[in-house]
Amino acid sequence: MSISTTDDLGIFESLESQVRSYSRSWPVVFDRAVGSTLFDEEGRDYLDFFSGAGALNYGHNNPALKEVLIRYLADDRIIHSLDMFTTARRDFLQTFSESILAPRDLDYRVVFPGPGGANAVEAALKLARKVTGRESVVNFTNAFHGMTLGALSVTGNSLKRGGAGVPLVHATPMPYDDYFNQDYPDFFYFERLLTDSGSGLNLPAAVIVETVQGEGGINAARAEWLRGLADLCRRHEILLIVDDVQMGCGRTGGFFSFEEAGIVPDMICLSKSISGSGLPMALTLVRPELDIWEPGEHNGTFRGIAPAFATATEAIRTYWQDDALEKSTIRKGARVEGRFNAIVSRHGEADLVSKGRGLARGLQFADGETADAVCRAAFERGLLMETSGPVGEVMKILPALTITDAELDRGLDIIETSVAEVLAA
């Protein structure tokens, strides 16, 4: 299939800011979407291994969620409610508490920090600073936490950092797991700086970490590294914030991506797939003793998007009453891993690496141009994927957790073909 760009793109080009990016890779106009399939306005279909950058773990227009959403709207139930009490908010809190927190023996207070992941991060950083009375935060190389000023200061990407227009301060990057190919002990540098009173590192209020760095290149931290980090934080009385915005909600298997490591963060940031329907919603979970805010000290307009609460509740009811989805995700992830390993073996290039955990998977190429060419080749074949990593060298896939095996295989076939085509060129 060859994608023509006969669609009318004029209004986008003349009116929308040139900051737009995804539309440059996929110059077609999308209209409908169901499950793992998108349709452009000319009716062509695309298999989705992108999933709204992780915001669509249950697929597009998931029937169970769609039904709930339409019924909610049809019944004139409240849509916008800030932090007012609503039946939708109560249902969500109860369901989240009973089906997510309680079975995992987790005890958190729920903050509704605003509509998106950056709000969840900003709220966590603010509260961590208030609780500890310290300013600085440690983040990790190649971290991505968002584009607002506080979230951007703990993000690694230099293009995005440069866009801030003011110096980004109060954050110090530390090496993420495997940053040195395991040549050195974990945390050898971080720990050394903390125990050396002359190191010049301001004692941090918090460490913020992704268990798998999605934007950073599908870098999956080992469970023992995460445990080591949790231990280091406990010993030095530093708060541990897990940013589970992209990797939470089942992306790596369990509802929270850190479950596998057996750690319990002090704060957790959730967004993207928490509403299930693609509608904006975000949560910051904080240990009860950290909940020392004054009423209204953090607020915002879009903290009560009740239709999102309704679909979030339904998503938990549908997918998180047992471990079926978790097991399926792990199984599908293994399937992807097997295929990726095979691709790596076949091409036998040192620069070609299979990466990831659960259904967050990547193929790392020698450079960004190669990864980009593979994504373009796949798009020509009707598959949507994006690249990530410092120079875009990682072909990144985040299929819906609800993808069928047939769809998964079809996409993997396209990837295999596309890789072969590009590497042969």
**Min separation Cβ 335 and a second copy, Å:** 25
Nearer to a second copy among residue 90 and residue 331 (C-beta): 90
Q: Does 180 bind a second copy (CB under 8 A)?
A: yes
**Min separation Cβ 341 and a second copy, Å:** 25
Q: Does 109 bind a second copy (CB under 8 A)?
A: yes
Nearer to a second copy among residue 167 and residue 348 (C-beta): 167
Nearer to a second copy among residue 118 and residue 233 (C-beta): 118
Site track for a second copy across 237-266, x = CB under 8 A: --------x---------------------
Q: Which helix (H) or strand (E) holds 424?
A: helix 405-424
Q: Does 124 bind a second copy (CB under 8 A)?
A: no
Q: Does 11 bind a second copy (CB under 8 A)?
A: yes
Nearer to a second copy among residue 307 and residue 411 (C-beta): 307
User: In this structure, which amino acid lies at residue 146?
Assistant: G
**Min separation Cβ 99 and a second copy, Å:** 13
**Min separation Cβ 355 and a second copy, Å:** 15
Q: Is 163 helix (H, G, I), strand (E, B) or coil?
A: coil
DSSP-derived pairing of the beta strands 37-40 and 30-34: antiparallel
DSSP characters over 273-316: GGSSSS----EEEE-GGG--PPTTSS--SSS-BHHHHHHHHHHH
If you count them, how many residues does the chain have? 425
Among 165, 350, 406, 424, which residue sits at the site for a second copy (rule: CB under 8 A)?
165
183-188 contacts: CB < 8 A, separation 24 or more? 186/224, 186/225, 186/228, 187/228, 187/229, 187/232
Stretch that binds a second copy, among 46-54, 346-354, 395-403, 416-424 (CB under 8 A): 46-54
> What residues numbered 217-236 form the site for a second copy, per CB under 8 A?
217
Q: Does 182 bind a second copy (CB under 8 A)?
A: no
139 CB contacts (<8 Å, ≥6 apart)? 145, 154, 155, 156, 171, 172, 173, 174, 207, 208, 209
**Min separation Cβ 291 and a second copy, Å:** 5
Return the closest-CA partner of residue 308 out of 53, 38, 112, 17.
112
Q: Does 156 bind a second copy (CB under 8 A)?
A: yes
Q: How many CA atoms lie within 13 A of 208 on its CB side?
A: 37
Q: Does 9 bind a second copy (CB under 8 A)?
A: yes
Number of shown-chain residues binding a second copy (CB under 8 A): 151
Nearer to a second copy among residue 217 and residue 356 (C-beta): 217
**Min separation Cβ 398 and a second copy, Å:** 12
The CA distance from 284 to 300, in Å, is 14
| Residues β-bridged to residue 388 | 394
Nearer to a second copy among residue 54 and residue 253 (C-beta): 54
**Min separation Cβ 198 and a second copy, Å:** 3
The CA distance from 208 to 127, in Å, is 13
Alpha carbon distances (Å) from 419 to 30, 332, 359, 378: 25, 20, 19, 9
Spatial strand order in the sheet of 353-357: 353-357, 360-364, 394-397, 386-388
The CA distance from 229 to 264, in Å, is 11
> What residues numbered 196-215 form the site for a second copy, per CB under 8 A?
196-203, 205
**Min separation Cβ 393 and a second copy, Å:** 10
Nearer to a second copy among residue 115 and residue 362 (C-beta): 115
Residue 9 is encoded by which pair of tokens? 């793109």
Site track for a second copy across 47-86, x = CB under 8 A: -----xxxxx---xx----x--xx--xxxxxxxxxxxxxx
Stretch that binds a second copy, among 236-244, 254-262, 300-308, 412-420 (CB under 8 A): 300-308
Q: Does 141 bind a second copy (CB under 8 A)?
A: yes
